[in-house]
Protein backbone atom coordinates (compact mmCIF):
# COMPACT_ATOMS: atom_id res chain seq x y z
CA UNK A 1 0.00 0.00 0.00
CA UNK A 2 1.23 3.48 -0.89
CA UNK A 3 -0.26 6.94 -0.36
CA UNK A 4 -0.87 7.26 -4.11
CA UNK A 5 -2.71 3.92 -4.26
CA UNK A 6 -4.78 4.79 -1.22
CA UNK A 7 -5.75 8.16 -2.66
CA UNK A 8 -6.75 6.52 -5.93
CA UNK A 9 -8.85 3.98 -4.03
CA UNK A 10 -10.58 6.72 -2.04
CA UNK A 11 -11.69 8.81 -5.02
CA UNK A 12 -12.34 6.07 -7.58
CA UNK A 13 -13.74 3.31 -5.40
CA UNK A 14 -14.71 4.39 -1.90
CA UNK A 15 -16.55 7.59 -2.90
CA UNK A 16 -18.50 5.89 -5.69
CA UNK A 17 -19.47 2.99 -3.41
CA UNK A 18 -20.66 5.40 -0.72
CA UNK A 19 -22.80 7.30 -3.24
CA UNK A 20 -24.31 4.04 -4.46
CA UNK A 21 -25.07 3.15 -0.85
CA UNK A 22 -26.83 6.51 -0.39
CA UNK A 23 -29.03 5.77 -3.39
CA UNK A 24 -29.92 2.28 -2.21
CA UNK A 25 -30.90 3.67 1.20
CA UNK A 26 -32.89 6.52 -0.30
CA UNK A 27 -30.61 9.17 1.20
CA UNK A 28 -29.90 12.56 -0.40
CA UNK A 29 -26.73 12.85 -2.49
CA UNK A 30 -25.34 15.48 -0.11
CA UNK A 31 -25.51 13.12 2.89
CA UNK A 32 -22.35 13.27 4.97
CA UNK A 33 -20.01 10.29 5.28
CA UNK A 34 -16.79 9.96 7.25
CA UNK A 35 -14.00 7.45 6.66
CA UNK A 36 -12.12 6.76 9.90
CA UNK A 37 -8.38 6.15 9.50
CA UNK A 38 -5.53 5.28 11.81
CA UNK A 39 -2.18 7.04 11.57
CA UNK A 40 -0.65 4.49 9.21
CA UNK A 41 1.99 6.34 7.17
CA UNK A 42 0.84 4.94 3.83
CA UNK A 43 -2.49 6.73 4.22
CA UNK A 44 -2.81 10.03 2.39
CA UNK A 45 -3.23 13.20 4.49
CA UNK A 46 -6.87 13.55 5.48
CA UNK A 47 -7.08 17.09 4.07
CA UNK A 48 -6.49 15.57 0.62
CA UNK A 49 -9.29 13.02 1.05
CA UNK A 50 -12.32 15.21 0.52
CA UNK A 51 -15.09 14.71 -2.04
CA UNK A 52 -18.08 16.91 -1.30
CA UNK A 53 -19.55 15.75 2.01
CA UNK A 54 -17.49 12.56 1.97
CA UNK A 55 -14.36 13.12 4.03
CA UNK A 56 -11.72 11.24 5.99
CA UNK A 57 -10.59 11.87 9.53
CA UNK A 58 -8.06 10.34 11.90
CA UNK A 59 -8.97 8.30 14.93
CA UNK A 60 -8.15 9.94 18.28
CA UNK A 61 -4.87 8.94 19.93
CA UNK A 62 -4.53 6.05 22.40
CA UNK A 63 -7.48 4.04 21.11
CA UNK A 64 -5.57 1.46 19.08
CA UNK A 65 -5.63 -1.19 21.80
CA UNK A 66 -9.37 -0.68 22.23
CA UNK A 67 -10.59 -0.76 18.63
CA UNK A 68 -7.73 -2.60 16.90
CA UNK A 69 -7.01 -5.54 19.21
CA UNK A 70 -5.64 -7.73 16.42
CA UNK A 71 -2.98 -5.16 15.58
CA UNK A 72 -1.76 -4.40 19.09
CA UNK A 73 -2.07 -7.82 20.65
CA UNK A 74 -2.40 -10.77 18.33
CA UNK A 75 -0.27 -9.59 15.41
CA UNK A 76 2.43 -8.24 17.71
CA UNK A 77 2.51 -11.56 19.54
CA UNK A 78 2.70 -13.42 16.23
CA UNK A 79 5.61 -11.24 15.06
CA UNK A 80 7.55 -12.06 18.20
CA UNK A 81 7.07 -15.79 17.64
CA UNK A 82 8.27 -15.30 14.06
CA UNK A 83 11.40 -13.50 15.21
CA UNK A 84 12.01 -16.17 17.83
CA UNK A 85 11.85 -18.79 15.07
CA UNK A 86 14.42 -16.81 13.08
CA UNK A 87 16.71 -16.55 16.11
CA UNK A 88 16.45 -20.31 16.68
CA UNK A 89 17.44 -20.94 13.08
CA UNK A 90 20.39 -18.56 13.42
CA UNK A 91 21.66 -20.14 16.65
CA UNK A 92 21.42 -23.61 15.11
CA UNK A 93 23.27 -22.70 11.92
CA UNK A 94 26.96 -22.38 11.16
CA UNK A 95 26.64 -19.07 9.33
CA UNK A 96 26.20 -15.42 10.20
CA UNK A 97 23.04 -13.35 9.88
CA UNK A 98 23.84 -12.17 6.36
CA UNK A 99 24.40 -15.70 5.06
CA UNK A 100 21.27 -16.97 6.81
CA UNK A 101 19.19 -14.23 5.21
CA UNK A 102 20.52 -15.21 1.79
CA UNK A 103 19.51 -18.83 2.41
CA UNK A 104 16.13 -17.89 3.86
CA UNK A 105 13.66 -18.28 0.99
CA UNK A 106 10.03 -17.24 0.60
CA UNK A 107 9.04 -20.85 1.23
CA UNK A 108 11.00 -20.84 4.50
CA UNK A 109 9.17 -17.67 5.48
CA UNK A 110 5.77 -19.23 4.71
CA UNK A 111 6.51 -22.22 6.95
CA UNK A 112 7.85 -19.93 9.68
CA UNK A 113 4.63 -17.90 9.47
CA UNK A 114 2.50 -21.03 9.79
CA UNK A 115 4.51 -22.27 12.77
CA UNK A 116 4.40 -18.87 14.47
CA UNK A 117 0.64 -18.55 14.05
CA UNK A 118 0.14 -22.02 15.53
CA UNK A 119 1.93 -20.82 18.67
CA UNK A 120 -0.49 -17.93 19.27
CA UNK A 121 -2.71 -19.14 22.11
CA UNK A 122 -6.48 -18.85 22.41
CA UNK A 123 -6.00 -16.94 25.65
CA UNK A 124 -4.03 -14.30 23.73
CA UNK A 125 -7.00 -13.81 21.41
CA UNK A 126 -9.32 -13.54 24.40
CA UNK A 127 -7.12 -11.01 26.15
CA UNK A 128 -6.90 -8.79 23.09
CA UNK A 129 -10.62 -8.83 22.29
CA UNK A 130 -11.89 -8.38 25.82
CA UNK A 131 -11.83 -4.56 25.77
CA UNK A 132 -13.83 -4.34 22.54
CA UNK A 133 -16.00 -7.42 23.10
CA UNK A 134 -16.29 -8.28 26.82
CA UNK A 135 -18.88 -10.99 26.14
CA UNK A 136 -16.23 -12.99 24.27
CA UNK A 137 -14.58 -13.86 27.59
CA UNK A 138 -16.22 -16.08 30.20
CA UNK A 139 -16.57 -14.73 33.72
CA UNK A 140 -13.74 -16.97 34.91
CA UNK A 141 -11.35 -15.09 32.66
CA UNK A 142 -12.02 -11.66 34.14
CA UNK A 143 -8.65 -11.73 35.86
CA UNK A 144 -6.79 -12.06 32.55
CA UNK A 145 -4.38 -9.23 31.93
CA UNK A 146 -5.35 -7.41 28.77
CA UNK A 147 -2.91 -4.56 28.26
CA UNK A 148 -0.85 -4.71 25.10
CA UNK A 149 2.22 -3.82 27.18
CA UNK A 150 1.84 -7.10 29.06
CA UNK A 151 1.39 -9.03 25.81
CA UNK A 152 4.56 -7.42 24.56
CA UNK A 153 6.46 -8.26 27.75
CA UNK A 154 5.36 -11.88 27.50
CA UNK A 155 6.60 -12.09 23.91
CA UNK A 156 9.87 -10.36 24.83
CA UNK A 157 10.45 -12.91 27.59
CA UNK A 158 10.00 -15.77 25.12
CA UNK A 159 12.59 -14.32 22.74
CA UNK A 160 15.02 -13.64 25.58
CA UNK A 161 14.69 -17.26 26.70
CA UNK A 162 15.92 -18.38 23.28
CA UNK A 163 18.76 -15.85 23.20
CA UNK A 164 19.92 -16.78 26.71
CA UNK A 165 19.43 -20.53 26.27
CA UNK A 166 22.98 -21.38 25.17
CA UNK A 167 26.44 -19.95 24.75
CA UNK A 168 26.33 -17.79 21.65
CA UNK A 169 27.33 -14.26 20.61
CA UNK A 170 23.76 -13.03 21.17
CA UNK A 171 23.77 -14.05 24.82
CA UNK A 172 25.50 -10.84 25.89
CA UNK A 173 22.96 -8.55 24.21
CA UNK A 174 21.23 -6.30 26.75
CA UNK A 175 17.48 -6.65 27.04
CA UNK A 176 16.78 -3.17 25.67
CA UNK A 177 18.60 -4.00 22.42
CA UNK A 178 16.62 -7.21 22.00
CA UNK A 179 13.43 -5.24 22.60
CA UNK A 180 14.50 -2.63 20.05
CA UNK A 181 15.00 -5.40 17.49
CA UNK A 182 11.55 -6.81 18.25
CA UNK A 183 9.92 -3.44 17.59
CA UNK A 184 12.21 -2.31 14.78
CA UNK A 185 9.45 -2.24 12.17
CA UNK A 186 6.56 -1.45 14.49
CA UNK A 187 5.63 1.72 12.62
CA UNK A 188 7.24 1.00 9.29
CA UNK A 189 4.93 1.73 6.36
CA UNK A 190 4.62 -0.90 3.67
CA UNK A 191 5.41 1.22 0.65
CA UNK A 192 7.01 -1.22 -1.76
CA UNK A 193 4.71 -1.89 -4.67
CA UNK A 194 5.24 -5.03 -6.74
CA UNK A 195 4.39 -4.74 -10.42
CA UNK A 196 2.81 -7.59 -12.37
CA UNK A 197 6.23 -8.23 -13.91
CA UNK A 198 7.83 -8.49 -10.45
CA UNK A 199 5.22 -10.98 -9.26
CA UNK A 200 5.55 -13.13 -12.40
CA UNK A 201 9.34 -13.14 -12.05
CA UNK A 202 9.11 -14.30 -8.42
CA UNK A 203 6.78 -17.15 -9.37
CA UNK A 204 8.63 -18.23 -12.53
CA UNK A 205 12.15 -17.86 -11.14
CA UNK A 206 11.98 -18.76 -7.44
CA UNK A 207 15.15 -18.79 -5.41
CA UNK A 208 16.51 -22.31 -4.86
CA UNK A 209 15.98 -23.70 -1.39
CA UNK A 210 19.12 -24.30 0.59
CA UNK A 211 19.28 -26.28 3.77
CA UNK A 212 21.07 -25.08 6.85
CA UNK A 213 23.84 -27.55 7.62
CA UNK A 214 25.16 -27.78 11.13
CA UNK A 215 28.80 -28.13 12.08
CA UNK A 216 29.90 -30.45 14.88
CA UNK A 217 31.20 -28.96 18.09
CA UNK A 218 33.99 -30.59 20.10
CA UNK A 219 31.51 -31.91 22.62
CA UNK A 220 29.31 -33.42 19.93
CA UNK A 221 32.13 -35.33 18.22
CA UNK A 222 33.63 -36.70 21.40
CA UNK A 223 32.16 -40.15 20.86
CA UNK A 224 32.42 -41.20 17.22
CA UNK A 225 30.01 -44.10 17.50
CA UNK A 226 27.11 -41.81 18.41
CA UNK A 227 25.12 -39.69 15.99
CA UNK A 228 25.88 -36.06 16.75
CA UNK A 229 23.35 -33.28 16.98
CA UNK A 230 24.78 -31.79 13.80
CA UNK A 231 24.38 -35.06 11.89
CA UNK A 232 20.84 -35.42 13.14
CA UNK A 233 20.11 -31.83 12.14
CA UNK A 234 21.46 -32.39 8.64
CA UNK A 235 19.39 -35.56 8.23
CA UNK A 236 16.29 -33.80 9.53
CA UNK A 237 16.76 -30.92 7.10
CA UNK A 238 17.23 -33.36 4.21
CA UNK A 239 14.09 -35.26 5.17
CA UNK A 240 12.03 -32.07 5.30
CA UNK A 241 13.36 -31.05 1.88
CA UNK A 242 12.42 -34.50 0.58
CA UNK A 243 8.91 -34.24 2.05
CA UNK A 244 8.40 -30.78 0.57
CA UNK A 245 9.33 -32.04 -2.89
CA UNK A 246 7.24 -35.19 -2.59
CA UNK A 247 3.55 -35.54 -3.39
CA UNK A 248 3.17 -38.17 -0.66
CA UNK A 249 2.94 -35.63 2.16
CA UNK A 250 0.20 -33.10 2.74
CA UNK A 251 0.80 -29.48 3.68
CA UNK A 252 -0.35 -30.11 7.25
CA UNK A 253 2.11 -33.01 7.59
CA UNK A 254 4.95 -30.82 6.36
CA UNK A 255 3.97 -28.20 8.93
CA UNK A 256 4.22 -30.94 11.58
CA UNK A 257 7.74 -31.75 10.37
CA UNK A 258 8.70 -28.10 10.77
CA UNK A 259 7.26 -28.13 14.29
CA UNK A 260 9.41 -31.16 15.09
CA UNK A 261 12.48 -29.39 13.73
CA UNK A 262 11.78 -26.35 15.92
CA UNK A 263 11.51 -28.63 18.96
CA UNK A 264 14.76 -30.29 17.89
CA UNK A 265 16.46 -26.88 17.78
CA UNK A 266 15.20 -26.09 21.29
CA UNK A 267 16.43 -29.40 22.72
CA UNK A 268 19.79 -28.99 21.02
CA UNK A 269 20.26 -25.56 22.54
CA UNK A 270 19.42 -26.94 25.98
CA UNK A 271 21.89 -29.79 25.52
CA UNK A 272 24.67 -27.30 24.92
CA UNK A 273 24.18 -25.95 28.42
CA UNK A 274 24.57 -29.38 30.02
CA UNK A 275 27.83 -31.18 30.61
CA UNK A 276 28.24 -34.91 30.50
CA UNK A 277 28.91 -36.25 34.01
CA UNK A 278 31.91 -38.12 32.61
CA UNK A 279 33.55 -34.77 31.90
CA UNK A 280 34.11 -34.35 35.63
CA UNK A 281 36.13 -37.60 35.85
CA UNK A 282 38.55 -36.97 33.03
CA UNK A 283 42.21 -36.84 33.89
CA UNK A 284 43.82 -33.49 33.25
Confidence of residue 220 (pLDDT cuts 50, 70, 90): very low
Q: Which residue has the higher pLDDT, 171 or 268?
A: 268
Residue range 157-212, pLDDT digits in tens: 767 776 666 566 666 667 777 777 666 655 554 445 556 677 677 777 766 554 44
Query: Domain locations in the chain?
Result: 3-58, 64-136+149-186+232-271
Residue range 109-153, pLDDT digits in tens: 888 899 888 888 887 777 777 767 777 665 444 444 444 555 556
* pTM recorded for the entire structure: 0.49
Please state the separation of Cα 184 from the chain's center in Å: 13
Amino acid sequence: MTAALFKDWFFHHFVSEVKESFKSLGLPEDTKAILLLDNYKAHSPVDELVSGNIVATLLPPNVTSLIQPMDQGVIQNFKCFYRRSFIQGLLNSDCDVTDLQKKFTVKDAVYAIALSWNQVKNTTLQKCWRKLWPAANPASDLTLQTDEEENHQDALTKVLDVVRSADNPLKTLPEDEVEEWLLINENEPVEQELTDEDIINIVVNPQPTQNLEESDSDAETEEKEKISWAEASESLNKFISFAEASTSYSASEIIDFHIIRNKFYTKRQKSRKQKDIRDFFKSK
